[in-house]
Amino acid sequence: MRALVFLLVLGNLLFLAFAGGYFGGPDNPDAGRVGQQLAAESVRIVGYGQTPPTTAEVEKQAAEAPPPEPEELCLLWEHLPADAADRLASTLAEKFAGIRVERSAVPVEGAGWWVMVPPLANKAEADKKVGELKELGVSDLFVVHDAGPNQFAISLGVFSSEKGGQEHLSRLKAKGVKSAKLFRRPGKEMQFTVEARGPLAKRAEVEELAAEVVEKPPARACQ
Protein backbone atom coordinates (compact mmCIF):
# COMPACT_ATOMS: atom_id res chain seq x y z
CA MET A 1 0.00 0.00 0.00
CA ARG A 2 2.78 2.40 0.85
CA ALA A 3 4.46 1.58 -2.45
CA LEU A 4 1.29 2.51 -4.40
CA VAL A 5 0.96 5.83 -2.62
CA PHE A 6 4.62 6.54 -3.27
CA LEU A 7 4.19 5.87 -7.00
CA LEU A 8 1.16 8.17 -7.25
CA VAL A 9 3.01 11.00 -5.51
CA LEU A 10 6.04 10.46 -7.70
CA GLY A 11 3.90 10.50 -10.88
CA ASN A 12 2.28 13.83 -9.91
CA LEU A 13 5.67 15.35 -9.19
CA LEU A 14 7.01 14.24 -12.56
CA PHE A 15 3.95 15.69 -14.40
CA LEU A 16 4.35 19.04 -12.62
CA ALA A 17 8.03 19.13 -13.52
CA PHE A 18 7.27 18.38 -17.19
CA ALA A 19 4.52 20.99 -17.38
CA GLY A 20 6.83 23.55 -15.83
CA GLY A 21 9.52 22.96 -18.43
CA TYR A 22 12.09 21.46 -16.10
CA PHE A 23 12.80 18.71 -18.66
CA GLY A 24 13.67 21.21 -21.49
CA GLY A 25 11.61 22.56 -24.43
CA PRO A 26 11.08 25.84 -26.30
CA ASP A 27 11.16 29.09 -24.38
CA ASN A 28 7.96 30.26 -26.17
CA PRO A 29 5.05 27.99 -25.31
CA ASP A 30 3.34 28.93 -28.62
CA ALA A 31 6.33 27.93 -30.77
CA GLY A 32 5.13 24.38 -31.19
CA ARG A 33 1.89 25.51 -32.77
CA VAL A 34 3.68 26.52 -35.99
CA GLY A 35 4.40 22.93 -36.82
CA GLN A 36 0.74 22.05 -36.28
CA GLN A 37 -0.61 24.58 -38.83
CA LEU A 38 -2.25 23.36 -42.06
CA ALA A 39 -1.69 25.31 -45.36
CA ALA A 40 -0.24 28.26 -43.46
CA GLU A 41 1.06 29.79 -46.72
CA SER A 42 -2.51 30.42 -47.98
CA VAL A 43 -3.37 32.68 -45.06
CA ARG A 44 -3.46 36.40 -45.98
CA ILE A 45 -4.05 39.35 -43.64
CA VAL A 46 -6.59 41.69 -45.26
CA GLY A 47 -6.49 44.39 -42.60
CA TYR A 48 -6.35 44.74 -38.88
CA GLY A 49 -9.68 45.49 -37.33
CA GLN A 50 -11.49 45.37 -40.74
CA THR A 51 -14.41 43.16 -41.71
CA PRO A 52 -13.87 41.24 -44.98
CA PRO A 53 -16.15 42.52 -47.81
CA THR A 54 -19.30 40.56 -48.59
CA THR A 55 -19.90 38.87 -51.94
CA ALA A 56 -22.43 41.59 -52.87
CA GLU A 57 -19.88 44.32 -52.14
CA VAL A 58 -17.24 42.60 -54.27
CA GLU A 59 -19.69 42.24 -57.20
CA LYS A 60 -20.73 45.90 -56.88
CA GLN A 61 -17.11 47.06 -56.98
CA ALA A 62 -16.50 44.94 -60.10
CA ALA A 63 -19.60 46.38 -61.82
CA GLU A 64 -18.56 49.96 -61.05
CA ALA A 65 -15.05 49.47 -62.38
CA PRO A 66 -14.53 51.40 -65.67
CA PRO A 67 -14.32 49.24 -68.82
CA PRO A 68 -10.84 48.70 -70.21
CA GLU A 69 -9.72 51.14 -72.88
CA PRO A 70 -9.85 49.74 -76.44
CA GLU A 71 -6.47 48.81 -77.83
CA GLU A 72 -7.32 49.85 -81.39
CA LEU A 73 -9.07 52.71 -83.10
CA CYS A 74 -12.31 51.61 -84.76
CA LEU A 75 -14.68 54.23 -86.18
CA LEU A 76 -17.71 53.80 -88.44
CA TRP A 77 -19.50 56.36 -90.63
CA GLU A 78 -22.95 55.24 -91.80
CA HIS A 79 -25.66 56.28 -94.29
CA LEU A 80 -23.25 57.96 -96.70
CA PRO A 81 -24.04 58.56 -100.38
CA ALA A 82 -21.61 57.02 -102.85
CA ASP A 83 -19.61 60.19 -103.56
CA ALA A 84 -19.16 61.06 -99.87
CA ALA A 85 -18.12 57.49 -99.02
CA ASP A 86 -15.57 57.45 -101.84
CA ARG A 87 -14.19 60.84 -100.81
CA LEU A 88 -13.89 59.90 -97.13
CA ALA A 89 -12.31 56.48 -97.77
CA SER A 90 -9.73 57.82 -100.21
CA THR A 91 -8.83 60.79 -97.99
CA LEU A 92 -8.30 58.69 -94.87
CA ALA A 93 -6.24 56.12 -96.76
CA GLU A 94 -4.09 58.86 -98.29
CA LYS A 95 -3.47 60.89 -95.12
CA PHE A 96 -2.97 58.05 -92.63
CA ALA A 97 -0.65 55.25 -93.73
CA GLY A 98 -1.36 53.18 -90.61
CA ILE A 99 -5.14 53.36 -90.93
CA ARG A 100 -7.03 50.51 -92.61
CA VAL A 101 -10.12 51.80 -94.42
CA GLU A 102 -13.02 49.69 -95.70
CA ARG A 103 -15.98 50.98 -97.76
CA SER A 104 -19.15 48.86 -97.90
CA ALA A 105 -22.46 49.21 -99.75
CA VAL A 106 -25.66 48.91 -97.73
CA PRO A 107 -28.96 48.28 -99.52
CA VAL A 108 -31.74 50.65 -98.47
CA GLU A 109 -34.83 48.94 -97.12
CA GLY A 110 -37.96 49.19 -99.25
CA ALA A 111 -38.71 49.16 -102.95
CA GLY A 112 -36.02 51.08 -104.84
CA TRP A 113 -37.07 50.45 -108.47
CA TRP A 114 -40.27 51.47 -110.19
CA VAL A 115 -41.81 50.13 -113.41
CA MET A 116 -44.27 52.67 -114.81
CA VAL A 117 -45.65 54.46 -117.82
CA PRO A 118 -44.15 57.98 -117.64
CA PRO A 119 -46.50 60.87 -116.69
CA LEU A 120 -49.17 61.68 -119.26
CA ALA A 121 -50.56 65.12 -120.12
CA ASN A 122 -53.72 64.92 -118.01
CA LYS A 123 -56.19 62.61 -116.29
CA ALA A 124 -58.08 61.88 -119.49
CA GLU A 125 -54.91 60.68 -121.22
CA ALA A 126 -54.00 58.58 -118.18
CA ASP A 127 -57.45 56.95 -118.09
CA LYS A 128 -57.22 56.20 -121.80
CA LYS A 129 -53.82 54.49 -121.31
CA VAL A 130 -55.21 52.45 -118.42
CA GLY A 131 -57.89 51.10 -120.76
CA GLU A 132 -55.25 50.11 -123.33
CA LEU A 133 -53.16 48.33 -120.70
CA LYS A 134 -56.12 46.34 -119.43
CA GLU A 135 -56.87 45.21 -122.99
CA LEU A 136 -53.30 43.83 -123.07
CA GLY A 137 -53.98 41.83 -119.89
CA VAL A 138 -52.31 44.19 -117.40
CA SER A 139 -54.53 44.66 -114.34
CA ASP A 140 -52.02 45.33 -111.53
CA LEU A 141 -51.67 49.11 -111.97
CA PHE A 142 -52.75 52.48 -110.60
CA VAL A 143 -52.66 56.12 -111.70
CA VAL A 144 -50.58 58.56 -109.63
CA HIS A 145 -52.90 61.48 -108.82
CA ASP A 146 -50.70 63.27 -106.26
CA ALA A 147 -49.33 66.61 -107.44
CA GLY A 148 -45.67 66.43 -108.37
CA PRO A 149 -43.33 65.36 -111.15
CA ASN A 150 -45.00 61.92 -111.43
CA GLN A 151 -48.64 63.09 -111.54
CA PHE A 152 -50.68 61.04 -114.06
CA ALA A 153 -47.95 58.41 -114.38
CA ILE A 154 -49.19 54.80 -114.32
CA SER A 155 -47.47 52.59 -111.78
CA LEU A 156 -46.99 48.98 -112.86
CA GLY A 157 -44.98 47.70 -109.87
CA VAL A 158 -42.18 48.54 -107.43
CA PHE A 159 -39.19 46.30 -106.68
CA SER A 160 -36.34 46.13 -104.18
CA SER A 161 -33.73 45.30 -106.83
CA GLU A 162 -33.00 46.38 -110.37
CA LYS A 163 -33.03 42.76 -111.49
CA GLY A 164 -36.59 42.27 -110.28
CA GLY A 165 -37.70 45.42 -112.07
CA GLN A 166 -36.01 44.39 -115.31
CA GLU A 167 -37.66 40.97 -115.24
CA HIS A 168 -41.12 42.50 -114.73
CA LEU A 169 -40.49 45.01 -117.49
CA SER A 170 -39.58 42.16 -119.86
CA ARG A 171 -42.86 40.39 -119.07
CA LEU A 172 -44.80 43.59 -119.84
CA LYS A 173 -42.93 44.07 -123.11
CA ALA A 174 -43.84 40.52 -124.09
CA LYS A 175 -47.50 41.48 -123.64
CA GLY A 176 -47.08 44.45 -125.94
CA VAL A 177 -46.66 47.21 -123.34
CA LYS A 178 -44.15 49.35 -125.20
CA SER A 179 -44.49 52.55 -123.14
CA ALA A 180 -43.42 51.07 -119.78
CA LYS A 181 -39.99 51.99 -118.40
CA LEU A 182 -37.87 51.20 -115.33
CA PHE A 183 -36.87 54.05 -113.00
CA ARG A 184 -35.07 54.29 -109.68
CA ARG A 185 -37.44 55.61 -107.04
CA PRO A 186 -36.47 58.99 -105.56
CA GLY A 187 -34.84 58.73 -102.15
CA LYS A 188 -34.01 55.05 -102.57
CA GLU A 189 -30.40 55.32 -103.67
CA MET A 190 -27.81 52.89 -102.35
CA GLN A 191 -26.03 54.01 -99.15
CA PHE A 192 -22.53 53.23 -97.91
CA THR A 193 -20.52 52.83 -94.71
CA VAL A 194 -16.85 53.61 -94.14
CA GLU A 195 -14.90 51.85 -91.39
CA ALA A 196 -11.46 52.95 -90.18
CA ARG A 197 -9.16 50.87 -87.96
CA GLY A 198 -5.67 51.64 -86.73
CA PRO A 199 -3.62 53.07 -83.85
CA LEU A 200 -5.79 54.48 -81.07
CA ALA A 201 -3.57 57.55 -80.77
CA LYS A 202 -4.75 58.69 -84.22
CA ARG A 203 -8.43 58.94 -83.26
CA ALA A 204 -8.61 62.71 -82.77
CA GLU A 205 -6.81 63.38 -86.06
CA VAL A 206 -9.02 60.95 -87.99
CA GLU A 207 -12.25 62.41 -86.60
CA GLU A 208 -11.11 65.97 -87.29
CA LEU A 209 -10.24 65.23 -90.90
CA ALA A 210 -13.42 63.23 -91.48
CA ALA A 211 -15.53 66.14 -90.21
CA GLU A 212 -14.00 68.31 -92.95
CA VAL A 213 -14.67 65.75 -95.68
CA VAL A 214 -18.28 64.71 -95.01
CA GLU A 215 -21.16 66.67 -93.53
CA LYS A 216 -22.33 63.86 -91.29
CA PRO A 217 -22.66 63.31 -87.52
CA PRO A 218 -19.45 62.13 -85.82
CA ALA A 219 -18.55 58.51 -86.39
CA ARG A 220 -19.50 55.96 -83.78
CA ALA A 221 -17.20 53.31 -82.34
CA CYS A 222 -17.54 50.06 -84.25
CA GLN A 223 -17.23 46.52 -82.90
pLDDT of residue 174: 93
pLDDT in tens, 143-188: 998 888 889 999 998 887 888 899 999 999 999 999 999 998 766 5
* Sequence-ordered list of residues with C-beta below 8 angstroms from that of 122, at least 6 positions apart, any chain: 152
In angstroms, the CA 60 to CA 64 distance is 6
Q: Which of 12-16, 86-90, 218-222 has the highest mean pLDDT?
A: 86-90
In angstroms, the CA 164 to CA 149 distance is 24
Give 2-26 as a 3 state SS string: HHHHHHHHHHHHHHHHHHCCCCCCC
pLDDT in tens, 18-74: 555 555 555 555 555 555 555 556 556 555 556 666 777 767 666 666 555 556 888
Report the percent of the chain where pLDDT is more than 90.
Answer: 22
pLDDT in tens, 102-154: 988 776 655 578 999 999 999 999 999 999 999 999 988 989 988 888 899 99
Q: pTM above the 0.95 mark?
A: no
**Maximum distance among all Cα pairs of the chain, rounded to whole angstroms:** 147
pLDDT of residue 210: 86
pLDDT of residue 34: 54
Q: What is the CATH number of domain 72-107+190-221?
A: 3.30.70.120
3-state secondary structure of 119: coil
Residue 217: pLDDT over 70: no
pLDDT in tens, 24-37: 555 555 555 555 55
Handedness of CA 210, 213, 217, 220 (dihedral sign): negative
Q: Please state the domain extents for the chain.
A: 72-107+190-221, 114-180
